[in-house]
Amino acid sequence: MTNPYVQALDELGAVMSRLDNHAVEHACRLVEEADKIVLHGLGREGLQVKGFCMRLFHMWLNVSMVGDMTTPHLGPGDLFVVSSGPGALATAGELMKIARGAGAAVLLITAQPEAALRRHADHLLVLPAQTMADDQGASASRILPMGSAFEGALFVVFEVMVAKLKEMMGITAEDMRTRHTNME
């Protein structure tokens, strides 16, 4: 019997082996150059996005999540980052239209590059992972259900992006630690 932990990591490794590193580096440049960054994700994807938001905050970036009371008005020079693995969430599409209409750039992170949301994005980062849009049939994951492969890939990609951004911006772990809350 195959070790299920190794099998899950193998599935995530297969996603990472198909990932376009240039697209990840482009996403990092967008984040680094943005005046303000607002992020959006729903469900389990949203949990990964919130973790990324926290790390960007630790890097002294002006960042927030849609729905927070302190989310700023977006405009030119700003970046709206949306995660939608299946690529067809109505809420995400409406928010993308609002951000673009205000002049902000929109980065869509998805597993479905031809999905409907693509038309509202200026930039695209494709994570070639299974989502609920393609979780059935012979090609379905053997261990990671529904959108878990995409969600796990988000975590890995976001952590690598943080490492790349640290290097690009000359930020140390000690710098980041000074922004970690003392209210725990």
Q: Which residues contact 92 (CB under 8 A, 6 or more apart)?
A: 40, 42, 82, 84, 117
Cα–Cα distance between 137 and 50 in angstroms, integer?
Answer: 31
Cα–Cα distance between 80 and 90 in angstroms, integer?
Answer: 16
Q: What is the DSSP letter of 108?
A: E
Residue bearing tokens 């609920």: 132
Tell me if residue 28 falls in helix, strand or coil: helix
Active-site pick, 151, 159, 167, 174: 151
Cα–Cα distance between 97 and 121 in angstroms, integer?
Answer: 9
Dihedral sign from CA coordinates of 6, 7, 12, 16: positive
Specify whether 151 is catalytic: yes
Catalytic residue numbers read: 151
